């Protein structure tokens, strides 16, 4: 009502100023019609992922993988190399005889020899080495991405704590308002009794003190909500104020299937081991390539000339290294041990996750049973409070006893709120444990 009156007064002020020729640029209608900001938990999940500094690493991983694959693919391009050599030999080729032919003499070789040449090598068949390098780069990139996903997944639990904490405080603030109304009703009735001379002023004072204590509780709740919203605001990188509305999450359909990102991480590590085993086979295959070489030196290709000369040579080159056969068996055993290690870690992770599942399911069942009893307790406490109010009004019940019944009903309502929010939070924690909360975050 007050906000509406302020908006009307501002509109009237603008109309008056326009009529008097004064130009004003206030966006009054936008201010009056502005609705409070509403935040859902799925939006909070998404914003937390997008805003977390670690998410920047995703692009770095993608770029690094692309560069590595590109470098591996360049192995199919011709490779150019330039080499030079200058040597001095203790002896050179010489002829132990002479040729008595006029105009013809045997060559004498210099002990200092020189050679500089450029060479181009082209891969024809590498046994699958370049393909393996590209696949390994992709597998490493996938593992790094999945490891990042594991770290980001921990954000969901932090969002849960802050989001549900704020929702619980909002509900407690509503109950606090109802409590103050009940106490105020008691104060009004006690004042009437005092005015009629059938009650002492101390009864009003006791109720007033209780009202102030409720006001203190409201101040503490508001301070806690402000702190929760401030932390949540930093986590999602969006401004949140005390007027922001956090929509109560819906009840989830619980799935016991474990789909945590850690499972894909273990599989990715095993895939790298598979590629390493494939590399052992690749290294044992023959390699075929073409080469072309052109150079300048002394002596050249003509062994009967001791002069500097240009030369070139080209052809095919086959290499086949079988040295890896000595360690092949042990290398495969090491890779098998690595795969078994990842399987054990996966089994340990699933075991611990299932234990947590059992604990959380027990908690869900507990809060569900408590919640089913809360309404009956509230109804009974409300009936007792109503009777206590009538007795207070008739002067047959003390203010202290009235406060006791009001607090009892308030405690029953607080328990209902607590059990309801705890049930919701335990359900979301369960989905987070099983990995199915990821579907909520990606909506």
Let me know whether 157 and 203 are in one domain: yes
Let me know whether 255 and 168 are in one domain: yes
Let me know whether 134 and 45 are in one domain: yes
Reply yes or no: is the peptide bond before residue 299 cis, omega within 30 of 0: yes
Spans in the chain with pLDDT lower than 50: 1-34, 441, 443
Let me know whether 185 and 213 are in one domain: yes
Let me know whether 311 and 346 are in one domain: no
> Residue 71 falls within a domain, yes or no?
yes
Let me know whether 231 and 308 are in one domain: no
Which residues are CB-contacts of 412 (< 8 A; sequence separation ≥ 6)? 374, 377, 378, 381
Range of the domain at 416: 38-85+127-285+329-441
Let me know whether 243 and 177 are in one domain: yes
pLDDT score for 96: 67
> Residue 215 falls within a domain, yes or no?
yes
Let me know whether 139 and 274 are in one domain: yes
> Residue 246 falls within a domain, yes or no?
yes
What order do you get walking across the sheet with 309-319 strand by strand? 79-88, 112-125, 287-298, 309-319
Let me know whether 71 and 27 are in one domain: no
Cα torsion 31, 32, 37, 38 to 10°: value is: -160
> Residue 362 falls within a domain, yes or no?
yes
> Residue 117 falls within a domain, yes or no?
no
Please provide residue 364's backbone torsions phi and psi, each rounded to the nearest 5 degrees: -60, -45
Contact 156, 432 (CB under 8 A): yes
Tell me how far apart the alpha carbons of residues 163 and 245 are, in angstroms, rounded to a whole number: 11
Let me know whether 27 and 68 are in one domain: no
CATH of the domain at 55: 1.20.1600.10
Tokens 């047959």 sit on residue: 396
> Residue 423 falls within a domain, yes or no?
yes
Let me know whether 61 and 162 are in one domain: yes
> Residue 116 falls within a domain, yes or no?
no
Tokens 């202290």 sit on residue: 400
Looking at 298, 319, 340, the residue that finishes a domain is 319
Let me know whether 186 and 290 are in one domain: no
- In 3D space, the residue among 150, 156, 166, 165 whose CA is nearest the CA of residue 441 turns out to be 156
Helices (H), 98-128: none
Tokens 């290709």 sit on residue: 301
> Residue 106 falls within a domain, yes or no?
no
Looking at 319, 341, 373, the residue that finishes a domain is 319
User: Total domain count for the chain?
Assistant: 3
Average pLDDT of the residues of the chain: 84
Enter the tokens of residue 271: 């895939």
Please provide residue 334's backbone torsions phi and psi, each rounded to the nearest 5 degrees: -65, -40
């Amino acid at each position: 009502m007050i906000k509406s009156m302020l908006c009307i007064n501002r509109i009237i002020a603008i109309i008056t100023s326009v009529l008097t020729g004064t130009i004003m640029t206030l966006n009054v209608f936008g201010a009056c019609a502005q609705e409070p900001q509403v935040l859902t938990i799925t939006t909070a999940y998404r914003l937390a992922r997008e805003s977390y500094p670690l998410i920047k690493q995703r692009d770095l991983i993608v770029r690094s993988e692309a560069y590595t694959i590109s470098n591996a693919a360049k192995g199919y391009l011709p490779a150019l190399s330039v080499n030079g050599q200058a040597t001095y030999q203790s002896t050179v080729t010489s002829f132990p005889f002479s040729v008595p032919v006029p105009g013809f003499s045997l060559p004498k070789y210099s002990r200092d020899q020189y050679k500089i040449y450029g060479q181009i090598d082209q891969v024809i068949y590498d046994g699958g080495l370049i393909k393996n390098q590209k696949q390994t780069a992709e597998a490493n990139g996938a593992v790094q991405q999945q490891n990042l996903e594991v770290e980001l997944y921990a954000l969901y639990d932090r969002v849960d704590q802050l989001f549900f904490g704020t929702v619980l405080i909002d509900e407690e603030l509503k109950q606090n308002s109802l409590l103050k109304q009940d106490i105020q009703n008691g104060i009004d009735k006690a004042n009437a009794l005092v005015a009629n001379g059938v009650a002492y002023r101390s009864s009003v004072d006791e109720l007033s003190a209780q009202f102030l204590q409720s006001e203190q509780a409201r101040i503490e709740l508001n301070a806690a909500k402000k702190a929760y919203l401030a932390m949540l605001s930093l986590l999602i990188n969006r401004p949140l104020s005390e007027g922001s509305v956090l929509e109560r999450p819906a009840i989830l359909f619980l799935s016991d299937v474990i789909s945590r990102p850690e499972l894909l991480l273990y599989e990715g590590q095993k895939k790298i081991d598979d590629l390493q085993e494939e590399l052992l086979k690749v290294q044992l295959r023959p390699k075929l390539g073409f080469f072309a070489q052109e150079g300048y030196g002394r002596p050249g290709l003509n062994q009967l000339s001791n002069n500097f000369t240009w030369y070139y040579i080209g052809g095919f080159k086959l290499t086949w290294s079988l040295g890896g056969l000595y360690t092949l068996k042990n290398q495969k055993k090491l890779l098998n041990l690595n795969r078994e290690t990842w399987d054990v870690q996966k089994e340990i992770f699933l075991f611990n996750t299932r234990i947590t599942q059992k604990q959380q399911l027990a908690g869900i069942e507990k809060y569900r049973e408590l919640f089913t009893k809360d309404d009956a307790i509230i109804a009974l406490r409300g009936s007792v409070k109503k009777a206590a109010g009538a007795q207070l009004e008739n002067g047959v019940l003390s203010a202290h006893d009235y406060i006791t019944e009001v607090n009892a009903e308030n405690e029953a309502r607080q328990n209902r709120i607590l059990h309801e929010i705890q049930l919701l939070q335990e359900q979301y924690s369960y989905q987070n444990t099983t990995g199915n909360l990821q579907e909520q975050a990606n909506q």
